[in-house]
A and B are shown apart, each in its own frame.
Chain A
Amino acid sequence: MEVNKEKISTIINKYKKDRAYLLAIFQDVQREYRYLPKEAIQYICNELNIPESKGFEVATFYKALSLTPRGKHTIHVCLGTACHLRGGPNILDTFERELKIKKGETTTDGIFTLESVNCLGACALAPLVRVGEKDFGKTTSSIVHDIIQEFKTGA
């Protein structure tokens, strides 16, 4: 796939071409494409003078980065301890059933990616679900359907 080299260069320059910010550069590029394309990783490594293998190592180490396209909305179901104790896994199960995908996968229509996350830090409101910038606290299985609808229609 063709990546917009100018756009990526702008991001690299924002971090003053400092290789210490490789992770941040990857995260910003991922925000543009909804994943980290191979060509982007190769271009960035080239610009920063980093061996491609090291760039690949960083890209595959951090859970925040994805090498495969993500859905328009990523649903993060928190499975932190407090959320686990208050039914987080059941919420995840319900999402899996409703969306017909497993954790880590994306719906065929490309709208939702379902992920688990190990604690969003809102433990008093367990179980928590985060979709994009919106958090849903004290979720129950019955709300799952409403959450999906809210983002499906807004898509």
Chain B
Amino acid sequence: MHTSLSKIEKIATEYTSRMKGFQKIIRICTGTGCVSSGALRVHDGLQKAIDSEGLSEKVLIKKTGCHGLCERGPIVVFGNEEILYQAVGKRKIEEDIHLLISTIKYNKTAENLLYKGTDKTKRYVSSREIPFYSGQTRLVLALNGIIDPEEIEDYIAHGGYRALAKALTMERDEIINWIEKSGLRGKGGGGFPTGLKWRSCKESDGFPKFVLANGDEGDPGAFMDRSLMEGNPHAVIEGMIIGAYAIGANQGYIYVRDEYPLAVERLSKAISHAEELGFLGKNILNTGFDFHIGIFRGGGAFVCGESTALMTSIEGKAGEPRAKYIHTVEKGLWEKPTNLNNVETWASIPEIINRGWEWFASIGTEKSKGTKVFSLVGKVNNTGLVEVPMGMTLREIIFGLGGGIQGGKKFKAVQTGGPSGGCIPEQYLDMPVDFDSLTGLGSMMGSGGMIVMDERNCMVDVARYFLKFLVEESCGKCVPCREGVRRMYEIVDRISTGKGREEDIAHLEELGKAVQIGSLCGLGQSAPNPVLSTLKYFHDEYVLHIKEKRCPAGVCKELIKFTIVPEKCTGCMRCASECPVKCITGEKKQVHEINQSRCIKCGTCYDVCRFDAVKIE
């Protein structure tokens, strides 16, 4: 044992001292978000500039994983969070690279690249000062943005694989005991106590056993798992090895969404590196414990995020779920005892082993321990990923970390839990975010999607959106979901197009309940949640659509009309130039007019007019 631990320490020491050899280390985020904003071009450009300045021996550029503030990418960080530059290279890449070189050579901070919040006069230098980051408690995402996910030595230098070495000296029951006492609950949506799941699997009869990681993050609006798999794949792997050892499994699989090719690539590389160093494979760290991890890619089916459907998919079949009267920990993959956890749950394991269960249990609320990563998106100023302790309120997350509603508009609702969740209105903003509070409100934590909506979002449209999504993603196996969800969609669609009937609301509630209790799997069982929660909290909005054929938020196209108010129009021509179908006519400084027959009701003119001259009728 000593030999293995000292080997790990040696790798860490060597890497750290190699890093110390550089005068400056610059980290560029290469998560999917920043890459789409041009991060790789920035990286290549900067490397070229550094080489030509003869600084390659002194300055190292590292490609890191997702920081979470994707909206402001590409993100470049100097040193240990000393300076954070945002939107680097978005407009003038050569200029920005020049500014980066200035910072390197002369320690000159480029003001224009610094982050500024809603108060446009204040600029933040270090990420530690930015409220978006300072309010977070980054445990699972701790190393995101710091390490290069493709260098296992970097992970080790920052404490990686110590937990594995320690766990392999513990009794299997003791490990499970720690996880139980930590209070860790599943981060994929169910919130099931992880320790209990592990114990049930360990105690099940059957061989071989399997451990699975659910990386099929399908909730639209959620990208926590993507960030984690791309930015710190080793945390997931280390957690899985520890779990497999405790449970008694020798084979594991990570099921990754097809839409996350970078995550698949990073995980594959991480697995090979781990194998090379003996953390995976036969006789791990000389303990006689064998464990291999394979990767399965999804095929674009949301339902495969459901545990039994995921297993069916791994078996090479169509991803249809099955009844869970017999739990998968007893009969799962190929009818063998299988322990499935979300990737975020697996990534939480190493620190619990490193720092102890008491430490973990000291964070969060009584029944929801630890932290949770949320994807805060929608109409909020700071969109991105945040990791917070359970129990932080919605207000603190949305208005504190999130910086409030974009454009100074009014908060209307926050949708949590994706298509399985519900919309929470203003009166519950001071609700602590934890598993049970959210469920109590008719929503759920789900995988962590948190979509903020303002007065320009129509709740009937939101319900319609989620129903449409679920109609397409339903596997079609059982009647209540296959038939019931599409009929619910038909009703809500009628309401949103002005053909609602008085009996529709009661009908939706009745049908919704039947689908909730009658469906075979979680997809169907939670499909009515968006409709039922919006009916509960935004009842009047539905009534307006049905009785008055009106959409107060100005969204439902058949019910609205955009017109220009002559008294307010200054003839600035902005609406006409932005209109995607060019249906607005008017001379400069003359009142403009919208051609109703060609208008596609996209609302761009309303959104861009600076004089409040566009009206929604």
Enumerate chain A interface residues (CB-CB to B < 8 A).
18-24, 26-27, 50, 54, 57-58, 61-65, 79-87, 90, 93-94, 97, 117-126, 128, 133-137, 141-142
Contact = CB atoms under 8 A, between A and B. Distances in A.
A122 B33 contact: yes
Given A58-B318, A123-B221, A63 B299 contact: yes
A134 B257 CA distance: 18
A59 B524 CA distance: 23
A65 B37 contact: no
Contacts of A83: 220
23 contacts: A20-B316, A21-B296, A61-B301, A62-B319, A80-B220, A81-B220, A81-B466, A83-B220, A85-B378, A93-B600, A117-B300, A121-B226, A123-B220, A123-B375, A124-B70, A124-B71, A124-B375, A124-B377, A125-B70, A135-B36, A137-B37, A141-B580, A141-B604
A141 B579 CA distance: 9
A124 B300 contact: no
Given A62-B299, A121-B226, A128 B377 contact: no
Interface in B22-43: 32-33, 35-37
A82 B221 contact: yes
Contact of A137 (B33, B69, B218): B33
A54 B35 CA distance: 39
Contact of B316 (A19, A117, A122, A141): A19
A123 B222 contact: yes
Nearest to B71: A124
Contact of B314 (A20, A54, A57, A64): A20
B451 A94 contact: no
Given A27-B297, A57-B318, A93-B600, A84 B465 contact: yes
A125 B37 CA distance: 9
B222 A119 contact: yes
Contacts of A136: 36
B234 interface: no
Contact of B258 (A54, A64, A128): A64
Contacts of B316: 18-23, 50, 58
B512 interface: no
Contacts of B73: 125
Nearest to B36: A135
Contacts of B379: 85
A120 B223 CA distance: 8
A57 B299 CA distance: 13
A34 to B, nearest CB: 16
Contacts of B194: none
Interface in B391-439: 415, 418
B457 interface: yes
B221 A80 contact: yes
Interface-central residue, A27, A120, A122, A133, by most chain B CB under 10 Å: A122
B259 interface: yes
Contacts of B223: 119, 121-124
A32 to B, nearest CB: 16
A125 B33 contact: yes
A123 B379 CA distance: 11
Contacts of B384: 124
Tell which of A21, A86, A123 has the most Cβ of chain B within 10 Å. A123
Contacts of A142: 578, 580
A135 B490 CA distance: 33
Nearest to B376: A124
Contacts of B600: 90, 93
B233 interface: no
A134 B35 CA distance: 9
B89 to A, nearest CB: 13
A8 B440 CA distance: 52
A151 to B, nearest CB: 15
Contacts of B318: 57-58, 61-62
B219 interface: yes
A80 B220 CA distance: 4
B297 A23 contact: yes
- The residue among B32, B301, B319, B473 with the most chain A CB atoms within 10 A of its own CB is B32
B602 interface: yes
Contact of A121 (B32, B299, B465): B32
Nearest to B219: A119
B115 interface: no
Interface string B572-593: 0000001011000000000000
B301 A124 contact: no
B461 to A, nearest CB: 9
Contacts of A20: 296, 314-316
B534 interface: no
Given A81-B449, A83-B220, A124-B223, 6 more contacts: A20-B315, A23-B297, A27-B258, A82-B220, A122-B223, A125-B37
B267 to A, nearest CB: 14
B33 to A, nearest CB: 5
A137 B301 contact: no
A141 B33 CA distance: 20
Nearest to A84: B465
A85 B452 CA distance: 10
The residue in B258, B296, B457 that gathers the most chain A C-beta atoms within 10 A of its C-beta is: B258
Shortest 4 CB-CB contacts between residues of A and residues of B:
A62-B299, A80-B220, A135-B36, A124-B70
Interface in B142-187: none
B453 interface: yes
A54 to B, nearest CB: 7
B71 A27 contact: no
A123 B377 contact: yes
Given A20-B316, A63-B301, A122 B32 contact: yes
A119 B378 contact: no
B292 to A, nearest CB: 13
Contacts of B221: 80-82, 119, 123
B36 A79 contact: no
Contacts of A124: 33, 69-71, 223, 375, 377, 383-384
B313 A23 contact: yes
A97 B457 CA distance: 25
A27 B259 CA distance: 12
Nearest to B418: A81
Contacts of B222: 119, 121, 123
Given A20-B315, A82-B377, A93-B600, A117 B259 contact: yes
A97 B582 CA distance: 13
Contacts of B357: none
